[in-house]
């Protein structure tokens, strides 16, 4: 059984619960965490005692995205330097965000994501590798043209364009309406609901569940899923590069935050500020 400080791994009653465990960093995905998550999912998929995998996040948030510079991440990169230049960046992003995520999507065991709080960029990517997504009512999703670009498969292409053009948070209710998540439940009952569903799935014949999953994935692949994912990585590379153009339309935010994340946060704060006077005027419901 894998043991790592960044990812927790527990098997009980044929259910393997894999938990992102950096709550102080809102489960930001360090390189160390991604490697540990990869090892955990592969181990669970190879374990005949495991019939269902549950992906969860410790603390208030499922994942606020990729780790862009915590002390742990910088120490890891110093000890494990990538090749310099665009070649090293390409290889690193391909390994961590295309190869790994496709492995997780294709693991034979049914996988359920339990999402609460922030599910931003890399958080969306990890959650979307699951077969079923349950969201707490406080879940907030934010997508972009990221490395594992599953959004046109997660939601209708016109809806995908709508939310990506605006760079706006998608709350849990809207995510269910879009088809990104299967169920929305009160935050306090999220894990109970997920585990009850997982227990139902685990009661079925595991080989049949694997075959069902493979058949559905094969249908997507016949329509071009894997080819689209691998091709979109090149579009991501261009997107990343254009942020450094001198005539890029958005101001670079302070720190390491991506410009479109800053846009989404600004819009969210603006919308919240606009709602407060209305709520005070309406009074208690």
Q: Report if residue 163 sits inside a domain.
A: yes
The mean pLDDT value for 57-82 works out to: 93
Does 148 score more than 60 pLDDT? yes
In a domain, 150, yes or no: yes
pTM for the whole thing?
0.91
Q: Which of 54, 61, 50 is nearest to 8 (CA)?
A: 54
Q: Token digits for 101?
A: 């995520």
Structural domain total, the chain: 1
pLDDT in tens, 221-249: 999 999 999 999 999 999 888 888 888 88
Contact assessment for residue 67 and residue 76, using Cβ atoms and an 8 Å cutoff: no
**Helix residue spans in the chain (DSSP H):** 31-46, 71-79, 85-94, 100-106, 122-128, 151-154, 157-166, 172-178, 190-202, 206-222, 225-242, 259-282
- Cα–Cα dist 21/61, whole Å: 10
Confidence of residue 157 (pLDDT cuts 50, 70, 90): very high
Name the more confident of 281 and 81. Answer: 81
| Average pLDDT score over the chain | 92
Q: pLDDT grade, residue 285 (50/70/90)? A: very low
pLDDT of 284 reads: 47
Q: Is residue 230 part of a domain?
A: yes
Looking at residues 110-127, what average pLDDT do you find?
Answer: 97
Q: Is 265 part of a structural domain of the chain?
A: no
Parent domain of 46: 7-242
Tell me whether residue 269 is in a domain: no
Q: Indicate which CATH number applies to the domain containing 225.
A: 3.90.226.10
Q: Tell the residue number behind the tokens 């990104």, with chain if given.
A: 180
Mean pLDDT of 88-94: 94
Is the pLDDT confidence value at 128 over 60?
yes
Within a domain: 122: yes
Q: Is residue 159 part of a domain?
A: yes
- Is 275 contained in some domain? no
């Amino acid at each position: 059984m894998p043991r790592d400080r960044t990812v927790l791994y527990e098997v009980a009653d044929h259910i393997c619960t894999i938990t992102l465990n950096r709550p102080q960093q809102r489960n930001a995905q360090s390189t160390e965490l991604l490697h540990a998550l990869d090892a955990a999912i592969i181990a669970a998929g190879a374990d005949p005692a495991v019939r269902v995998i549950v992906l969860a996040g410790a603390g208030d948030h499922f994942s606020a995205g990729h780790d862009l510079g915590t002390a742990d991440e910088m120490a890891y990169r110093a000890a494990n330097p990538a090749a310099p230049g665009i070649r090293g960046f390409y290889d690193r992003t391909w390994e961590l965000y295309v190869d790994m995520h496709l492995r997780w999507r294709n693991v034979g065991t049914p996988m359920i994501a339990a999402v609460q709080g922030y599910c931003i960029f890399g958080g969306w990517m990890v959650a979307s590798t699951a077969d079923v997504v349950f969201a707490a009512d406080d879940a907030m999703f934010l997508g972009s043209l990221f490395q594992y670009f599953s959004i046109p498969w997660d939601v209708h292409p016109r809806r995908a364009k709508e939310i990506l053009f605006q760079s706006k948070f998608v709350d849990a209710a809207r995510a269910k309406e879009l088809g990104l998540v299967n169920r929305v439940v009160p935050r306090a009952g999220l894990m109970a609901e997920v585990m009850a569903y997982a227990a139902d799935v685990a009661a079925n014949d595991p080989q049949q569940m694997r075959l069902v999953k493979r058949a559905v994935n094969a249908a997507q692949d016949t329509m071009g899923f894997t080819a689209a994912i691998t091709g979109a990585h090149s579009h991501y590379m261009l997107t990343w590069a254009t942020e450094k153009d001198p005539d890029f339309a958005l101001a670079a935010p302070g720190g390491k935050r991506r410009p479109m994340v800053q846009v989404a946060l600004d819009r969210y704060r603006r919308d919240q500020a606009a709602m407060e006077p209305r709520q005070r005027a309406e009074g208690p419901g």
